Chains A and B, each alone.
Chain A
Amino acid sequence: MRERSKGYGIFLVPGFILLVIVIGIPFLMSLSVSFTKWTGVGKPEFVGLANYRSALADPIFWASFRNNLQLIFAITVIPTFIGLLLSVFLFDYVSDTLGTHTVNFFRTAYYLPQVLPVAIAGIVWGWILNPKQGALNSLLKLFGLGGLAQNWLGNPATALNSVMMIMIWFQIGYPLIIFMAGLQRVDPQVIEAAEVDGANWYQKFRIYVYMIRPELLVVVLTSMIYSLKLFSQIYVLTRGGPGTATMVPSYFAYQNFFEKTRVGYGSTVAMIMTVIIVILEVIFITCQSKMTDEGEY
């Protein structure tokens, strides 16, 4: 049912030109730098594929990717799932029983973590997770669970999990807002019809989820990309430590870019990540297009 209409192309022109200038050119420049050895000032020295070979053999690089996969779970899967549940809950049940003002209030509260500057969030979480005097361990001791008290960010075994927990806290607001906006589009008559037919909450939930499929796909893809790019939280919370327990590719690239001034190598790491992200995107968006073609609206 694809209609190829003419005349729509013109609307794309300004956006695309700007894209090429602001993103395309830097991308190409960075690509060429990745084939060089450079400190950021002066002349780059062409080294061909040497950087790529080093990167693929670098154990820190691979450690960072492994960590990233776990983070994808924490940033994409769990918050999206919680976001779905919460958004439908708020939209359907809570707005009926407690009113839209209550819904708005809680929605604002749940989105707040996304508003907090990451640097500050990092400091505060550092205080909360402080092994001796932090709020979390103090609370555990209060409830007699002192045995569970840990050095959350300092123990390599728990560091990544602690970061994951913080990321879930941080991320929930994002799908929540998008899903709730999407739920506005749902035709209430469909829901009413289902209720009349005696649907329970689970079946209603499935209907809602089906109706906001586009938003769901967008959230999944963008969260995945965000988790692959994750940087500031790691920078502020653990600097990739202890050891390499929480190292991620973009922090590794950053270290090379700015701290070690191995700009060529840093570009290489960034390029490899970009390639992986692009492959994911291509798969995702192509599937998404096929799916929406088949859907009926």
Chain B
Amino acid sequence: MKKGFILTLALSLALLSAFAQGQQEKGQQEKTKFTIWHYESANGAMGASWAEAMKQFQAKHPEVEIVYENKGFEQIRQTASMILNSDEAPDVMEYNKGNATAGMLSKQGLLTDLSEQAATYGWDKKLSPSLQTTCRYNSEGTMGSGKWYGVTNYGEYVMVYYNNDMFKKYNIPIPTTFAEMESAMAAFKAQGIIPLAMAGAEYPSQHLFYELALAKADRKMVNAYELYQGDFDFHNAAFTYAANKMVEWVKKGYIDKDCISLKAEDMGLQFTNGTAPIMVSGSWWYGRFANEITNFKWSIGLFPGNKLSPGSSGNIWVVPTKSKNKELAYDFINITLQPDVQALMGNAGGIPVAADISQIKDEKIKELINLFGKLNEEDGLAFYPDWPAAGFYDGLVSNLQNLLLGSQTVDQVLDSLNKAYQEGK
């Protein structure tokens, strides 16, 4: 019976601690608590600059206790509307931009309208109109117009990563036009190397698909596709071209057919371990590559020949309707847009939206930021292909898998994509 006694003791302890955790928090209520949530890695560019913002905020409001929680993306993604609909909602938090995420929450009345603050603090001047698209949502939850519900701090875009050493080894010039890109890939293939790192089980295939379509598209099509401003059909010239091009590249061996079961991480690995010299993906890899690639030279460039590229503002700061300290939240957001905080982000490898470029020290990072600036100024940010319809991400993944595999024709795939788009928007 000794065992029984120990068990009972352990159980009571366990239950007690579960109980206690509730009581403890009710006790400490003296200081105003300001809760901030984000889900970027703490030592990445965003995390670092936001930590600085928190420091400055604390200095400005010494009587406030900052409660900062670094969340997991999975939790926010899956339970955001549940949390924001409760008393556990934070005071300010990072959230995903887009109709399916921020748009949806704003439609559900879970986010505070920030239009007034945008004017007062001057955010509407600091952020270019292109970047503002993802900060404003109308009553249908569609981005591009309407009230301000979020404020962004950074940008992201899709470009091309090149393994310079491999290009040099085979005497292939880094492409500046689309034709040069294709001949470079042919040259690599002739050496028995599959040129393009790719993954078909996650987002990379759809980013490439979209990038190719954008070569033949214009802002009007993008707005029709993403913002529903006009008719859109997948059978148009741009996407038909893109689908055919991808099939062609698989046939020529530029894309490995076996990639359809690979995840984005696997694609990154193909690039970093020297298997594939070219990778078409986003700026979010940049910081990692800077840290992790130690044995070859690499560079970046916009997709050759494209005026438009997938890209947008980064995630946005939102103030939940149930936030208990809205004024403090507005102040915090404002601090994150201050030039010195933004410069910190740039120097840490991120892409700030309101920084003074002369304050960025590293040449390579300057290039990263400049390319984004170029896209931004020329109104070249075309957002992402899975945004327009709920659940479209999975539809794109599985349809492109069929395309790459050859188990469905281009027409069939475009049909299926179109159907999913029309139903989901």
Residues of A bordering B, CB below 8 Å: 39-42, 126, 129-132, 151-156, 159, 238-244, 255-256, 258-262
User: Contact at A156–B81, with CB atoms within 8 Å?
Assistant: no
Docked complex Cα distance between A255 and B258 (Å): 25
- Would B258 and A151 count as touching, CB distance under 8 A? yes
* CB-defined contacts of A243 to chain B, threshold 8 Å: 398, 401-402, 405, 407
Write the nearest CB–CB distance from B307 to chain A, whole angstroms: 32
Q: Would you call B258 and A238 a contact (CB within 8 A)?
A: no
Q: Is the CB of B405 within 8 A of A242?
A: yes
Query: Which of the residues B110, B261, B391, B397 comes within 8 Å of A153, measured between beta carbons?
Result: B261
Is there contact, CB below 8 Å, between B391 and A259? yes
User: Given A41-B108, A259-B394, are A156 and B405 also a contact pair (CB < 8 Å)?
Assistant: yes
Contact call A242/B402, Cβ cutoff below 8 A: yes
Q: Decide if B246 is an interface residue (CB 8 Å cutoff).
A: no
Nearest CB of B to A71, in Å: 18
Assembly CA distance A240 to B402 (angstroms)? 13
Q: Select one of A126, A259, A261, A262 contacting B266, CB under 8 A.
A: A126
Give the distance to chain A from B320, nearest Cβ to Cβ, in Å: 13
B81, B201, B424 — most chain A CB neighbours (10 Å): B201
Contact A242 B398 (CB under 8 A): yes
Interface, chain B (partner A; CB < 8 A): 78, 81, 85, 104, 108, 110, 200-201, 256-263, 266, 275, 390-391, 393-394, 397-398, 401-402, 405, 407, 424
Chain A to chain B: the 5 pairs with minimum beta-carbon distance, closest first: A154-B261, A260-B391, A153-B261, A131-B258, A259-B391
Residues on A with beta carbons closer than 8 Å to the beta carbon of B81: 40-41
Apart from A154-B401, A156-B405: 9 A-B pairs, beta carbons within 8 A: A41-B85, A41-B108, A130-B266, A131-B262, A151-B260, A242-B200, A242-B260, A242-B402, A261-B391
- Greatest chain B CB density within 10 A among A152, A154, A239 is at A154
* Alpha-carbon separation in the docked complex, A230 to B78 (Å): 19
Main secondary structure of the interface of A (DSSP, over half): loop
Contact B201 A238 (CB under 8 A): yes
- The docked-state distance in angstroms from the alpha carbon of A80 to that of B78 is 35
A240-B394, A259-B390, A259-B394 as given contacts; A156 in contact with B78, CB under 8 Å:
no
Which listed residue, B110, B398, B424, touches A241 by the CB 8 Å rule?
B398
A selection of 11 A-B contacts at a CB cut-off of 8 Å is A153-B261, A154-B200, A154-B258, A156-B407, A241-B201, A241-B397, A242-B201, A242-B402, A244-B398, A258-B78, A262-B390
Q: Which residues of A contact B397 (CB under 8 A)?
A: 239, 241
| Contact A132–B258 (Cβ < 8 Å) | yes
Expressed in whole angstroms, the minimum distance between the Cβ of B102 and any Cβ of chain A is 14
Complex: A241 Cα to B424 Cα, angstroms: 20
Tell me, rounded to whole Å, the shortest Cβ–Cβ distance linking B267 to chain A: 12
A63 to B110, CA, bound (A): 37
| CB contact between B263 and one of A126, A240, A242 (< 8 Å): that residue | A126
CA distance A239 to B394 in the complex (A): 8
Residues from chain B with a CB closer than 8 A to the CB of A261 are: 104, 390-391
Give the residue of A159, A240, A258, A259 whose beta carbon is less than 8 angstroms from that of B261: A159
Which interface residue of A156, A259, A261 has the most chain B CB atoms within 10 A? Answer: A259
Shortest distance between the CB of A164 and any CB in chain B (Å): 16
- A129, A243, A244, A256 — most chain B CB neighbours (10 Å): A243
